[in-house]
Structure 1
Amino acid sequence: MKLAEVRKNMQKTIEATQRSFNTIRTGRANAALLDRVMVEYYGMDTPLKSLANISVPDSSTITIQPFDKGSAAQIEKAIAMSDIGLTPNNDGELIRLNIPPLTKERRQQLVKTAGKLAEEGKVAIRNIRRDAIDSVRKEEKNSDISEDESRDLQDEIQQITDEFNQKIDDLLAVKEKDITTV
């Protein structure tokens, strides 16, 4: 496994962790909150953003305008059943989600959730590191590279891993600040 490939895979993990963080509610309305909401539409689970236009008219409201007005009831049900904790208001044309201010307890729960997502990202990075080091050790065992080269590559892989773990820590710090800021 090449070092560039290790970096690329770890960067993908960072991006996935960032997308996961975007789905955590802060005090402001954000369309990314609805990224994980799946709607049962004609017997298939379909992402909400494929069925409706989602917009954020102000900092405390998200509006959802279904492309097919007949799907509004399913969309409303999917949002109510999801883990985002918001109650949809349907007026026949638009579905509105009002984002209430977060309580102190809810903020603490969201910080814990963000921490879990960050840890999942770190686990993924450690798995990439393990695979890369196993690959290097296999090359050394097959006499494709020397013991010194193997050690150098393993050190570089560890440095890359530390760098990407720090990036996840930085993302987590930004998200925690975002959540705890009133």
Structure 2
Amino acid sequence: MAIFLRRTLSFRNVLLLRSSALLSREIRQCNSASPHRVLSLPALEFVRESRRGFAKGRNKKKEDESAASTVEILPNMGPTIKANATSHMEAAIAALTAELSKLRTGRASPGMLDHIIVETGGVKLPLHQIAAVSVIDSKTLSINPFDPTALSNLETAIVESPLGLNPKVDGDRLIAAIPPLTKEHVQAICKVVTKSAEDGKQSIRRGRQKAMDTIKKLTKNYPKDDLKRWEKEVDELTKKFVKTAEDLCKAKEKEISSG
């Protein structure tokens, strides 16, 4: 029994000595790689743990990037895709409508002054924020400032605008007569309408492309029949909004020509 215990203890001591030798060799290698800095055993363990942490952090970053590049999958993505595309296209139509309302026609329209910027009290503001514009008749506008002291600033801004208007002071308001458009003016404004129509349709098509890109990312998550149905719905939606843009521009051109 005593002989067995002595052999067991000797074997354990050998293992301990070998472990110590291996650790000492690793410390010497680290020290030889950086002769100006001596690493102790705790420092060496710190380096090991830091490397492990760095590797884990790098893998976590890759996982986060992969997750960010994917689309959030819902039970039925069709209504969501269509709603997002509709919102984008409605915004394009709203922008086109606002742009067309700024164009001068032969008829009086309150919106034709919206783009005029008035400087009053050292601050530049859109005209509609400092005055109420109303239509007296088809050829005359009334501009009523909220602050009567801004009347002269309003008059200056309207005269300097490219609309060709020459308003007159009438008490606490301005009266602006809309002069008839010349043939050259009509042609020039119609070109602007055409350009605005193309910009609006391009914006609508960008909404379509965004929806189609989203659908393509879902090929592994939904049946092909569902994906084709959604693509068809987006195409029908696009045609509807493109036609709306074209109708708006045709109506504006007709208004300009008849004025």
Bin the TM-score by the shorter chain: 0.7 to 0.9
Letter in 2 for 1:173: K
Structure 1 residue 23, shift from structure 2 partner: 1.9
Residue of structure 1 in register with 2:254 after alignment? 177
Alignment correspondent of 2:111: 32
Unaligned runs of 5+ in 1: none
Q: Secondary structure at the residue paired with 2:129?
A: helix
> SS of the counterpart of 2:217?
helix
Alignment match, 1:61? 140
- Alignment-mate amino acid for residue 67 of structure 1: F
Select 2:237's aligned residue among 151, 160, 164: 160
State the identity as a percent. 36
The alignment of Structure 1 onto Structure 2 pairs a total of residues equal to: 180
Which one scores higher on RCO, CA 8 angstroms, separation ≥ 6? Answer: 1
Query: What displacement does 1:144 show?
Result: 2.3
Q: Which residue of 2 aligns with 1:114?
A: 193
Tell me how far 1:7 sits from its aligned partner: 1.9
Instruction: Give yes or no for the alignment of 1:149 onto 2:220.
Output: no
Does residue 1:74 correspond to 2:153, yes or no? yes
Q: What stretches of structure 2 of length at least 5 have no aligned partner? A: 1-79
Q: Distance in 1 between matches of 2:192 and 2:202?
A: 15
Partner residue of 1:51 out of 121, 127, 130: 130
Q: How big is the shift at 1:91?
A: 4.9
Residue type at the aligned position of 2:148: K
1:89 to 164, 168, 173: 168
Give yes or no for contact 1:51–1:67 (8 Å, CA) kept in 2.
yes
Q: Tell me, what secondary structure is at the counterpart of 1:26?
A: coil
Q: 1:5 aligns with which of 76, 84, 87?
A: 84
Distance in 2 (alpha carbons) for counterparts of 1:34 and 1:119? 23
Aligned 8 A contact 1:132 1:157 in 2 = yes
Partner residue in 2 for 1:23: 102
Q: Which residue of 1 aligns with 2:22?
A: none
CA-CA distance at 1:157 after TM superposition: 1.2
Matched, 1:101 2:101: no
Give TM-score, length-normalised by structure 2. 0.64
| Contact 1:27/1:179, CA 8 A, preserved across alignment | yes
Work out which of the two has the higher radius of gyration on C-alpha atoms and give 1 or 2: 2
Greater strand content:
1
Normalised to the residue count of structure 1, the TM-score between the two structures is: 0.88
Structure-2 residue corresponding to 1:138: 217
Say if 1:121 and 1:168, in contact at 8 Å, map to a contact too.
Answer: yes
Question: Amino acid of the residue matched to residue 246 of structure 2?
Answer: D
More displaced 10-residue stretch of structure 1: 121-130 or 90-99:
90-99
Seen in structure 2, the aligned counterparts of structure 1 residues 58 and 150 have a Cα distance that, compared at 3 Å, is same
How much has 1:64 moved relative to structure 2? 1.1
- Give 1:154 shift: 2.1
Runs of 4+ deviating beyond 3 Å: none
Shift, 1:33, TM fit: 0.5
CA deviations 1:96-126 (Å, max 9, x no partner) are 2211111111111111111111111111101
